[in-house]
């Protein structure tokens, strides 16, 4: 790993250096401009340093304190983290977050892949895909607002079930955990299928035709074609789409906050909602910060493990 030859910018730099020895890469002809170049990158660095990294470090520090927003923070070491083990609401929240992770990586990504594979080379495939795209552009908050109304006990969802003579017309979708979380995951899947499908369609349409034609001549079709030819070719893209869904699901906030505010009785909270509630409802800044650190750790670990595993497979 000492020679990262694959890094594209190194490759570009190398190509540039080869093309013009003594070019702007070395302080030579353009030495005068050497310092000025930092002016171009400094706005970006200042923005991320002041508004992303500084708060990040600050939150990490606050997680080791007891602080109610008034006066000054009192250093209490790992107390907040110890407290987590006895916090029922937090444990429920972790379970719900895991449900979100499983639900969103399986439902919208899986169904999105299915719709993409079924439609990508059909004539008029765009029209078949339109129904799935319409919900996507709606925001998480808009989705929560609208579905909050639909899923009320006397709301439309129950009326529709009754209308079609189906059982469960008096379901209280948002009342008890974990049913409320599952209901919201289904709503989320309804919305998110579109973007996953779109990413897969773009991937499918850009895979090379030659191997597919060759396999077709060899008599492959349907499932076998998909399993042995198409699927391996789109592995890198699938890695990205799954990874995106995984990380996003860990941070679920908008839809839950708007639909249930994590309730009733904290039964539908996710870690992001728990954090928000601890800080801005309970004024428990230190503990809320600790929950944020926990969420960050989980997200970081999940990404790391996922990418490691994927990288291992690509090589193996």
Partner 1 sequence: MRARRLNGTVRRGVLVVLGLAWLFPTYLIVANAVRPATEYDATDAVRPPTSMGLFDNISEAWERTAVGQTLFSTALYAVVAPLLAVLVGALAGYAIVVLRLRHGFAWFVVIFAGTVVPFQMLLVPLFIGYSKVSLYDNRLGLILVYTAINVPLAALVMRNFFGNMAVSIYEAARMDGASTFRIFWRIYVPLSASALAAVFILEFTYVWNDLLFGLTLSQTETVRPVWAELSALTTDVYAGTPVPIALAAGLVVSLPTVVLFLATQRLFTRGLTLAQF
The length of the chain, given as a count of residues? 316
Q: Does 131 bind partner 1 (CB under 8 A)?
A: yes
CA 56, CA 12: separation in Å to the nearest integer? 33
Give the footprint of partner 1 on residues 21-50 (CB under 8 A): 23-25, 30, 33, 36-38, 40-41, 43-45, 47-48, 50
CA 143, CA 131: separation in Å to the nearest integer? 16
User: Minimum CB separation from partner 1 for residue 99, in Å?
Assistant: 19
Nearest residue (CB) to partner 1, 78 versus 137: 137
Q: Does 145 bind partner 1 (CB under 8 A)?
A: yes
Q: Does 10 bind partner 1 (CB under 8 A)?
A: yes
CA 86, CA 292: separation in Å to the nearest integer? 17
Which DSSP helix (H) or strand (E) runs through 75?
strand 74-75
Nearest residue (CB) to partner 1, 141 versus 182: 141
Angle between helices 271-280 and 88-119 (to 10 degrees): 140
Q: Does 118 bind partner 1 (CB under 8 A)?
A: yes
User: Minimum CB separation from partner 1 for residue 95, in Å?
Assistant: 18
CA 287, CA 279: separation in Å to the nearest integer? 8
Give the footprint of partner 1 on residues 159-218 (CB under 8 A): 159-160, 162-163, 190, 193, 195, 198-199, 201-203
Nearest residue (CB) to partner 1, 89 versus 138: 138
* Interface residue with partner 1, options 82, 102, 106, 134 (CB under 8 A): 134
CA atoms 91, 275, 300, 77: torsion sign: negative
Give the footprint of partner 1 on residues 59-78 (CB under 8 A): 59-60, 62, 69
CA dihedral 49, 297, 113, 190 (to 10 degrees): -90
Q: Does 84 bind partner 1 (CB under 8 A)?
A: no
Q: Does 311 bind partner 1 (CB under 8 A)?
A: no
Q: Does 224 bind partner 1 (CB under 8 A)?
A: no
Q: Does 304 bind partner 1 (CB under 8 A)?
A: no
CA 274, CA 83: separation in Å to the nearest integer? 14
Nearest residue (CB) to partner 1, 92 versus 270: 270
Q: Does 91 bind partner 1 (CB under 8 A)?
A: no
Rounded (5°) CA angle 99-105-110: 130
CA 254, CA 184: separation in Å to the nearest integer? 11
Give the footprint of partner 1 on residues 257-276 (CB under 8 A): 257-259, 261, 271-272, 275-276
CA 312, CA 310: separation in Å to the nearest integer? 5
Three-class SS of residue 166?
coil
* Interface residue with partner 1, options 74, 280, 309, 311 (CB under 8 A): 280
* Interface residue with partner 1, options 119, 180, 249, 252 (CB under 8 A): 119
Give backbone dihedrals phi and psi of 68, rounded to 5 degrees, phi first: -110, 10
CA 133, CA 128: separation in Å to the nearest integer? 10
Q: Does 307 bind partner 1 (CB under 8 A)?
A: no
Nearest residue (CB) to partner 1, 177 versus 286: 286
* Interface residue with partner 1, options 79, 87, 172, 254 (CB under 8 A): 254
């Amino acid at each position: 790993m000492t020679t990262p030859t694959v890094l594209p910018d190194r490759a570009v730099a190398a190509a540039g250096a080869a093309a013009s020895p003594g070019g702007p890469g070395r302080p030579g002809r353009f030495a005068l401009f050497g310092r000025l170049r930092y002016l171009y990158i400094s706005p970006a660095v200042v923005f991320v340093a002041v508004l992303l990294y500084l708060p990040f470090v600050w939150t990490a520090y606050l997680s080791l304190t007891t602080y109610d927003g008034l006066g000054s923070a009192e250093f209490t070491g790992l107390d907040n983290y110890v407290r987590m083990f006895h916090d029922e609401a937090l444990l429920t929240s972790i379970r719900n977050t895991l449900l979100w992770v499983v639900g969103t990586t399986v439902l919208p990504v899986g169904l999105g892949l299915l719709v993409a594979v079924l439609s990508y080379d059909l004539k008029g495939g765009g029209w078949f895909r339109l129904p799935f795209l319409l919900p996507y552009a709606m925001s998480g908050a808009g989705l929560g607002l609208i579905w909050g109304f639909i899923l009320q006990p006397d709301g439309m969802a129950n009326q529709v079930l009754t209308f079609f003579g189906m059982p469960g017309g008096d379901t209280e979708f948002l009342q008890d955990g974990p049913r409320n979380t599952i209901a919201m995951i289904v709503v989320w899947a309804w919305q998110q299928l579109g973007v996953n499908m779109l990413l897969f369609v773009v991937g499918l349409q850009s895979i090379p035709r030659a191997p597919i034609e060759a396999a077709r001549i060899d008599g492959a079709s349907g499932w076998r074609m998909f399993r042995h030819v198409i699927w391996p070719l789109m592995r890198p893209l699938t890695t990205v789409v799954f990874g995106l869904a995984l990380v996003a699901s860990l941070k679920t906030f908008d839809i839950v906050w708007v639909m249930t505010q994590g309730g009733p009785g904290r039964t539908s909270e996710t870690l992001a909602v728990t954090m928000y509630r601890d800080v801005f409802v309970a004024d428990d800044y230190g503990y809320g910060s600790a929950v944020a650190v926990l969420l960050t750790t989980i997200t970081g670990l999940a990404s790391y493990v996922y990418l490691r595993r994927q990288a291992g497979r690509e090589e193996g």
